[in-house]
Structure 1
């Protein structure tokens, strides 16, 4: 049975921390001002992809936290004794 497209892509995409580190390096290179226009555009395109990947990872993490909370509602994570 062939793998789904998303399963294949997930294996090749960096995790959140790796994507953030790459984004930070990318920003530093672009701010350095020594890239050609073409290289800047390539870096910008990569940055957009990494940003979307990070946003999706954060969205998934937020959904998981909501599922794990007792009532599924957004709330502050204060200790039970504090109300």
Structure 2
């Protein structure tokens, strides 16, 4: 899959994978320290939004996985919390 996201792409429109790649880019730029203060603040803000997006997507995925339980034959039977068992 080709990544068509840009730094201007709204965070809420990014897939989990796109958000992770964008977050890695932000962290790399901030760690290099060669970004002006105003740009650093904007990068930090975008990074915080990207982090939240990733956390939200992971939580959504965990909830989907938690909703699937299997019986002894391996057939999905319904829902159960993640930490039950």
The reply to whether TM is greater than 0.5 is yes
Compare the two structures and name the one with the higher strand fraction.
2
**Any gaps of 5 or more consecutive residues in structure 1?**
1-11, 76-83
Residue ranges of structure 2 left out of the alignment (5+ in a row): 1-11, 71-78
Report the TM-score, using the length of structure 2 for normalisation: 0.69
- Residue 40 of structure 1 and its aligned partner are, at CA, apart by 0.3
Correspondence 1:1-83 to 2 at 5 A: 13-70=13-70, 72-74=80-82
Count, aligned residues: 66
| Divergent runs of 4+, >2 A | none
SS at match of 1:74: coil
Name which structure has the greater RCO, CA cutoff 8 Å, separation 6+: 1
